Every structure is written in structure tokens, then in C-alpha cells.
Chain A
Amino acid sequence: MTYGELKPRVAGVFVQSVKGEAVPLESLWQGRRIVLVFLRHFG
């Protein structure tokens, strides 16, 4: 997958912090490198 393919798909997608704050998904890696882990569910 190229970033060009991902970019329109993450536009407007938000995740929620454990404090309940809505965070734009793409902002998570805008200014830093991250390992992003999608967990199946908690448990």
C-alpha cells in the first residue's frame, strides 16, 4: 500500500483517547515515527 492510497482513506477518521478525546488518526504519525498496532479487541 502506498501513502497515496492510504491518505484519502484516513482523512476524516478519528480515534478516541482513553480520556475520551477525539484524535484525528493521521495526526498520530504526522510529527513522529510510530508502531501502530491494531488490536482485535480488548481481552
Chain B
Amino acid sequence: MFARQQAAALGGVKGRLDGAGVALVAVGSGSTDGARRFAEKLPFAGEMYVNWDLSAYRAFRLERGLWKTLGPASVLRGIRAMMDGFRQGRTDGDLWQQGGVFVLGPGEKILFEHRNAFAGDHADLGAVIAASVG
């Protein structure tokens, strides 16, 4: 549900990213079949990759833990997401792994970083856009 919500929000600003020559790239922890289904259902127009062994998540020091997914803050965000019309679909991937958003490149540059502290703790899209299009 939160992945759908986050991907839908980012998909909504893809036009602005395209206009600035910035690519939208998503990495998920599930299977390639799950990634295809996810991208088709939303739809999600960015590039999609998978990292089932979570090595990329660890490299970026992203959070992982049962209570980061099931804690009260996540439950509240989940209720809000459901009120916005998002529903939990068939899950594919690591349920306890948290996400994040980074603006990178070209080359050795980190322009923005946000690590979700808990499920539903998404990055401020305005800040993402500002860092991306500069």
C-alpha cells in the first residue's frame, strides 16, 4: 500500500523530472515478476529494478525491522493512505525493509537523501524536486 502510494506520488511529478533531464528509478525488494505486475498496475513509468538480497538497501543504510513496519506511526499512516484510496495488494518482497529516496549524479554526487524511519514515512516531494531540478 505504501509502495503504491509513494510510486504514485513520484509518478505524478515524472513530467517535471523528465523536463529537467532527471530519470526516475525505483528499486524493490521483490521478484522481477512482482516488479512487472507492480509497474503495470499503477502504472509506474520510471525504470524498475529489483534487489532481493537487500544489498543495495544495506549500502544506503536503509532501516529494517518489524516495529518499523507495524508500529503505531505506521498504522496511522496506513489509515491515512487507505482514506486516500490506497489498498494493500499482493505483497512481494521483504515486509520489514523500509525504503528511501535519494537524488544522485551525474557521477559522484548526492544531492538529496531521505531514509524512511518507518513504513509510510515518505520523503517531502517538494524537496525531492528542488534537489533534482536545482
Instruction: Give chain A's interface residues, CB within 8 Å of chain B.
Output: 1-3, 6-7, 9-10, 13-20, 23, 25, 28-43
Contact = CB atoms under 8 A, between A and B. Distances in A.
Contact of B106 (A7, A32, A37, A43): A32
Contacts of A16: 32, 49-52
Contact of B105 (A15, A19, A29, A39): A29
Contacts of A43: 1, 3-4, 30, 34, 38, 88-93
A36 B25 contact: yes
A3 B69 CA distance: 28
B110 interface: yes
Contacts, number: 178
Contacts of B20: 33
A2 to B, nearest CB: 7
Determine chain B's interface SS by DSSP, over half rule. mixed
Given A38-B57, A39-B7, A40-B94, 5 more contacts: A1-B61, A3-B110, A28-B49, A33-B23, A35-B17
Contact of A6 (B22, B36, B60): B60
Interface string B27-38: 111111011111
A14 B108 CA distance: 17
Given A34-B23, A35-B22, A41 B105 contact: no
A41 B49 contact: no
